[in-house]
A and B are shown apart, each in its own frame.
Chain A
């Protein structure tokens, strides 16, 4: 028995782990919105890099008003606001921007209710007058966080934007 198993060496273990990671990544990227570039990276250069071809956006609305922003890559307004921040507040925002970046890479896994509520409330705090207006009526405020995928269409010579994943929540 020991002779038969002699070919099994302890240093093959990392290769076995790599195999498990690669299969997991393949399943997640083909069925659950994980980009082929991350989570093991075995499929890099087989689809556009999410840094160029995926956008995370948010739309907060009720009859009193609406906020539309790009979270990842962060648009100018968010960057401007982020630069003004200091201390604990900055750390909090830093985490939200990093989370948005993660959502871009793996929307289904990273887009949690907690994240949507947190980022929505932060954005409403920035626009204080709109927040007061929205909160003054009884209509629910809904937040829609979505991931947009840019796809090149060779036949028609254009780029299409498709919603890859989205989640709507009352906040």
Chain B
């Protein structure tokens, strides 16, 4: 009921814009994500826009937001996460569409499609070219140190948390040792099967992401299937990466490429964003259900 009211209240395109500002507010709530001066510029604009939704389609509001986001990139080039880069591109796209006075819905749909292809396509290329990723080393490193979790692991290896505890103490040993020499530190793991599991998971991730990119490239062909793949990819990877902001941004772009007759998918994207952002605010990590 709440969602259908939300959808009714705002016109399709306005809802994308509204979701973007909600995303910005949640992003700026985390003090480590933005420099303070940018935070104090972006946050007030976002709140004002939520209070006065008529401002949502004012290009000047978007221009200001875009300029502040660029300032953030300029001052934090080496500290800014992917989602804020995407947010910056997106806000500039919206600004320029509003200035150009072209049909908003068509323009945002095509631009968002290209942006999604670029973001997910480059992510796939990075994974394919990263020896650490395709060999499964990256996944093993993350799981064995408890930096992320995935509930099937606890089903397959019920005492996995004991490995994490032991490896963490080895890890803090590495940090506190005289580390100016190259060294080798043995870690504890459930055995060969675990590394095979990590490798398979890495391959599935690459394959899944590549398939999503391919379907996005030929979009609007196989429209339904593309959205099913994108939403399931978001949930599949979210479970073990717990990356809230990036997936919220993907949902905004996913919503933006929807056609008017795809109301169900729009609702799914909105539900996903609200769930993911709520979990971010509550610092809830679903992957950690396992440990």
Check B126 against A43 for contact (C-beta < 8 Å): yes
How close is A91's CB to chain B, nearest CB, in angstroms?
15
B136: which A residues are within 8 A, CB to CB?
Answer: 154
A61 to B87, CA, bound (A): 46
Instruction: Say whether B279 faces chain A, with CB atoms less than 8 Å apart.
Output: no
In B152-200, the 8 Å CB interface with A consists of: 170-171, 174-176, 178-180, 182-187, 189, 195, 198-199
A43 to B81, CA, bound (A): 11
Seed contacts A40-B82, A40-B85, A42-B126; 18 additional CB < 8 Å A-B pairs: A9-B102, A14-B90, A18-B89, A22-B118, A38-B78, A45-B243, A46-B138, A47-B130, A47-B133, A47-B138, A102-B78, A148-B179, A152-B138, A158-B185, A159-B185, A159-B187, A161-B179, A161-B183
How close is B247's CB to chain A, nearest CB, in angstroms?
12
Interface size class of chain A, counting residues whose CB lies under 8 Å from the partner chain: 35 or more
A160 to B99, CA, bound (A): 53
Check B132 against A152 for contact (C-beta < 8 Å): yes
B79: which A residues are within 8 A, CB to CB?
Answer: 38, 101-102, 105
A144: which B residues are within 8 A, CB to CB?
Answer: 180
Instruction: Say whether A142 faces chain B, with CB atoms less than 8 Å apart.
Output: no
Residues of A within 8 A of B (CB): 9-15, 17-19, 21-22, 26, 29-30, 36, 38-49, 52-53, 55, 57, 59, 68, 70, 73, 75, 101-102, 105-106, 110, 144, 146, 148, 150-154, 156-163
A42: which B residues are within 8 A, CB to CB?
Answer: 82, 119, 122-123, 126
How close is A32's CB to chain B, nearest CB, in angstroms?
13
Check B187 against A18 for contact (C-beta < 8 Å): no
Decide: A70 near B81, CB < 8 A? Known: A9-B107, A14-B92, A154-B195. Answer: no
Instruction: Say whether B141 faces chain A, with CB atoms less than 8 Å apart.
Output: yes
A47: which B residues are within 8 A, CB to CB?
Answer: 130, 132-133, 138
Check B130 against A43 for contact (C-beta < 8 Å): yes
Check A157 against B189 for contact (C-beta < 8 Å): yes
Residues of B within 8 A of A (CB-CB), count:
64
Check A11 against B100 for contact (C-beta < 8 Å): yes
Check A68 against B178 for contact (C-beta < 8 Å): yes
Decide: A38 near B93, CB < 8 A? Known: A12-B111, A157-B186. Answer: no
Instruction: Say whether B142 faces chain A, with CB atoms less than 8 Å apart.
Output: yes
B184: which A residues are within 8 A, CB to CB?
Answer: 153, 156, 158-161
Among A43, A57, A75, A162, the residue within 8 A (CB) of B182 is: A162
Instruction: Say whether B125 faces chain A, with CB atoms less than 8 Å apart.
Output: yes
Instruction: Say whether B3 faces chain A, with CB atoms less than 8 Å apart.
Output: no
Check A46 against B89 for contact (C-beta < 8 Å): no
A124 to B250, CA, bound (A): 49
- Give the interface centre of A22, A38, A41 by most chain B CB atoms within 10 Å: A41
A148: which B residues are within 8 A, CB to CB?
Answer: 179-180
A106 to B170, CA, bound (A): 26
A163 to B96, CA, bound (A): 45
Decide: A154 near B93, CB < 8 A? Known: A10-B99, A70-B175. Answer: no
A44 to B126, CA, bound (A): 8
B185: which A residues are within 8 A, CB to CB?
Answer: 158-161
Among A10, A53, A101, the residue within 8 A (CB) of B96 is: A10
Decide: A154 near B125, CB < 8 A? Known: A40-B82, A41-B85, A159-B184. Answer: no
How close is B172's CB to chain A, nearest CB, in angstroms?
11
B126: which A residues are within 8 A, CB to CB?
Answer: 26, 29, 36, 42-43, 46
Check B123 against A46 for contact (C-beta < 8 Å): yes
